[in-house]
Amino acid sequence: MRFSSIFSGALISFVAASFGLASTLSDGSVTATALDPNLTRSFHGIAYSPSGVILPNCGATQEAVTNDVLLLAQLTPRIRTYASDCNQTLYIFEAIRQTNADLMVWIGIYLSTGTDIDTVYERQWTAIESVINEYGTKNIGGITVGNEFLLLSYGDGTATDATGVAARTTLLSYVTKAKAALSALDLNVTIPVGTSDAGSAATLALCEGVDYYQANVHPWFGSVDYRGAAAWTFNFFEKFDVEVCAPASNNPTMYIAETGWPTSSDNASDATNGAGSPASIVGLQTFMDEFNCQANANNTEYFFFEFKDETWKEIYGGVEPHWGLFYPNRTLKAITIPECEVSSPLNGTVAQLVFPSSGSTAAQTSSGASPSSTSSTDASSASRSGTQLGAGLSTVLSLSMGLATLLL
């Protein structure tokens, strides 16, 4: 990470702590202690991977995931994950329980493209079944079998060549397996089972075998300028995913699984894409401004990529580690969240959020109201209450960022 990113992140952490919105933990990361007036539920969904969930070096903790959830629930009522190793699914659902977060989770199962595929699947399914037994199904939006399994399988080929067709057959066999396992649990609800893959990997045969398809649609990799990238994203998704799957008799739900804009690059050669458009805060801000509210208005179901930068991806270089709305220590990047709140599939609000460090609900810390006396309208106001606090924070942040610019 560049020095400027570290410096500005430290300033934001200091200011947030000074205004009582967060406290700094011993490892330098931030934990929210109250609603942040700079956060709005303007994301239909957000892609989320906890830190420390890559085998064999599991390092995720309940505390870290709970602190993530306290922020995620202020930005969106929906998250999707990629795998269920390293206790991540357990930690997420326990965090929802601890914080009373209004979150639906699309649980991921990573599928290996190697000979260990069955072992990898069964290990994760066992973890998911344990979570269902302990926490129930209320907060489960779906189970996503595989993430770019097809793309990783056919490589430079296509979804319709021999390798692609074989990969699809394998993938759908595990989708069927997951459905059968859910049926065996004799639940009182039907949990949708789908998959996530490249936006170009959708085929009618694939869509007919899943309850939903989540397509990764990245204008950065499409060599598109950040100005107009949102329009490109809508057009690509409609042409290569929605229209492809429209004839499917099972009518699968269509999602954009990933879309966003990187804010930095670890090497100069990858600092711009094929259109010469830079990985930058300006690019992310522009994309959010052009995409979020339009997507929310036209009922596009999407998961923004992603919650925070992932340091483990530094092994890949380039822009890979820098797609987050937040830095790894949970400080918000120098962005302004669009103002276009989304509805919750659970009909909940941010006002119900409980901050474990204080034991208070968001409604109480924001306005002194009890949860039972806070309507959905009040909840929206609660998340924006403390106007003087927000204004003061913005002023100090502006001064801090100005100082950072002068020093750098």
Residue 361: predicted pLDDT:
73
The better pLDDT of the pair 320, 384 is held by 320
* Alpha-carbon distance values, 77 to 63, 72, 133, 314, 343 (Å): 20, 8, 23, 29, 8
What's the average model confidence in pLDDT over 59-74?
Answer: 98
Q: Is the pLDDT of residue 103 over 90?
A: yes
Coil vs helix vs strand at 286 = helix
Q: Is the pLDDT of residue 93 over 70?
A: yes
258 in catalytic set? yes
The candidate with the shortest Cα–Cα distance to 10, out of 261, 24, 181, is 24
| pLDDT category of residue 24 using cuts at 50, 70 and 90 | confident
Phi, psi of 25 (to 5 degrees): -85, 175
Residue 382: predicted pLDDT:
38
Residue 372: predicted pLDDT:
34
The runs of H, that is alpha helices, within 187-238 are: 204-207, 229-237
The candidate with the shortest Cα–Cα distance to 76, out of 305, 316, 268, is 305
Residue 32: predicted pLDDT:
85
The runs of H, that is alpha helices, within 261-369 are: 281-297, 362-367
Measured in whole angstroms, the distance separating CA 125 from the mean position of its chain's CA atoms is 21
| Residue in 258, 290, 306, 310 annotated catalytic | 258
pLDDT tens digits, residue range 109-133? 999 999 999 999 999 999 999 999 9
Write down the pTM of the prediction: 0.85
Residue 41 φ/ψ region, left for φ over 0, alpha for ψ in the -120 to 50 degree band, beta for the rest: beta
The segment(s) of the chain belonging to CATH 3.20.20.80 are 38-348
Distance of alpha carbon 162 from alpha carbon 299, whole angstroms: 36
Encoded tokens for 189: 């609800």
Domain 38-348, second-level architecture: Alpha-Beta Barrel (3.20)
Residue 373: predicted pLDDT:
34
The candidate with the shortest Cα–Cα distance to 1, out of 279, 221, 236, 191, is 279
Distance of alpha carbon 261 from alpha carbon 304, whole angstroms: 9
% helix / strand / coil in the chain, to the nearest 5? 45, 15, 45
* Alpha-carbon distance values, 229 to 39, 128, 304, 341 (Å): 23, 36, 14, 22
The better pLDDT of the pair 191, 369 is held by 191
pLDDT tens digits, residue range 168-180? 999 999 999 999 9
Residue 26: predicted pLDDT:
60
Residue 377: predicted pLDDT:
35
Q: What is the DSSP letter of 278?
A: B
| pLDDT category of residue 233 using cuts at 50, 70 and 90 | very high
Q: Determine if the peptide bond prior to 56 is cis (ω within 30°).
A: yes
Coil vs helix vs strand at 289 = helix
Q: Is the pLDDT of residue 366 over 80?
A: no
Contact by Cβ (8 Å): 175, 224: no
Q: Is the pLDDT of residue 98 over 50?
A: yes
Q: Which long-range CB contacts under 8 A does 385-390 form with residues at least 24 apart?
A: 385/35, 385/37, 386/37, 387/37, 389/19, 389/20, 389/21, 389/37, 390/37, 390/38
| pLDDT category of residue 365 using cuts at 50, 70 and 90 | low
Tell me the pLDDT of the chain averaged across its residues: 87
Contact by Cβ (8 Å): 73, 65: no
Classify residue 320 as exposed, middle or buried by CB count within 10 Å of its CB (0-12, 13-18, 19+). middle
The candidate with the shortest Cα–Cα distance to 234, out of 246, 220, 219, is 219
Q: Is the pLDDT of residue 184 over 70?
A: yes
Containing 335, the helix (H) or strand (E) segment is: none
306 in catalytic set? no
- What is the identity of the amino acid at 233? T
- What is the identity of the amino acid at 359? G
pLDDT > 70 fraction of the chain, expressed in percent and rounded: 81
| Residue in 122, 134, 148, 339 annotated catalytic | 148
pLDDT tens digits, residue range 276-335? 999 999 999 999 999 999 999 999 999 999 999 999 999 999 999 999 999 999 999 999
| pLDDT category of residue 108 using cuts at 50, 70 and 90 | very high
| pLDDT category of residue 5 using cuts at 50, 70 and 90 | very low
